[in-house]
């Protein structure tokens, strides 16, 4: 994997992935930014959410569970002093479907967080991680 980061102006950068996709990153106004893009530390959480959501959906679909929606809500705390690293991250899944069981979703979340999601596992080495979920039965 590779990526390239190009400075645009003030605190704005464009990140281009090895697969050719670009994302604008920008800092807050008090650091010279214009608030026109995602903060780099927000991207870490976004990457975590995308990675673990992908795993959970794949695990449930392979188990032939009828999933119709999945949202991941992530809350995080950072240290007060520089470097302002994440100290706690909570990942909460809201999985919607027909006939989904808590047991199936719990298993998918556990497998993602301990075996498959490389972002979650990497962050877990230095951050207090927790996971939760809720199952929503889709109305027919």
Q: What is the pLDDT along the chain (140 residues), one digit of tens a residue?
A: 899 999 999 999 999 999 999 999 999 888 889 999 999 999 999 999 999 999 999 999 999 999 999 999 999 999 999 999 999 999 999 999 999 999 999 999 999 999 999 999 999 999 999 999 999 999 87
Q: How many residues comprise the chain?
A: 140
Dist. CA 96–CA 138, nearest whole Å:
6
Report the pLDDT value the prediction gives residue 81, as an integer from 0 to 100. Answer: 96
pTM of the predicted structure, to 2 decimals:
0.92
Report the pLDDT value the prediction gives residue 139, as an integer from 0 to 100. Answer: 85
HSE-CB at 138 with a 13 A cutoff on CA atoms is 14
Dist. CA 55–CA 50, nearest whole Å:
9
Domains and CATH numbers, the chain: 1-38 (2.20.25), 40-137 (3.30.300.20)
Which residues, 6 or more positions from 70, have their beta carbon under 8 angstroms from its beta carbon?
A: 53, 56, 57, 93, 94, 95, 96
Strands 86-98 and 128-137: parallel
């Amino acid at each position: 994997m590779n990526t390239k980061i190009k400075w645009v102006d003030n605190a704005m950068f464009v990140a281009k992935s090895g697969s050719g996709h670009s994302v604008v990153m920008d800092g807050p106004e008090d650091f010279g930014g214009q608030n026109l893009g995602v903060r780099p530390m927000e991207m870490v959480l976004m990457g975590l959410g995308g990675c673990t959501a992908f795993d959970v959906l794949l695990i449930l679909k392979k188990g032939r569970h009828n999933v119709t929606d999945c949202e991941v809500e992530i809350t995080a705390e950072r240290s007060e002093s520089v470097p302002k690293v994440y100290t706690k991250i909570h990942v909460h899944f809201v999985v919607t479907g027909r006939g989904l069981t808590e047991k199936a979703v719990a298993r998918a979340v556990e497998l993602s967080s301990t075996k498959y999601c490389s972002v979650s596992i990497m962050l877990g080495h230095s951050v207090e991680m927790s996971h939760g979920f809720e199952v929503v039965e889709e109305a027919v």
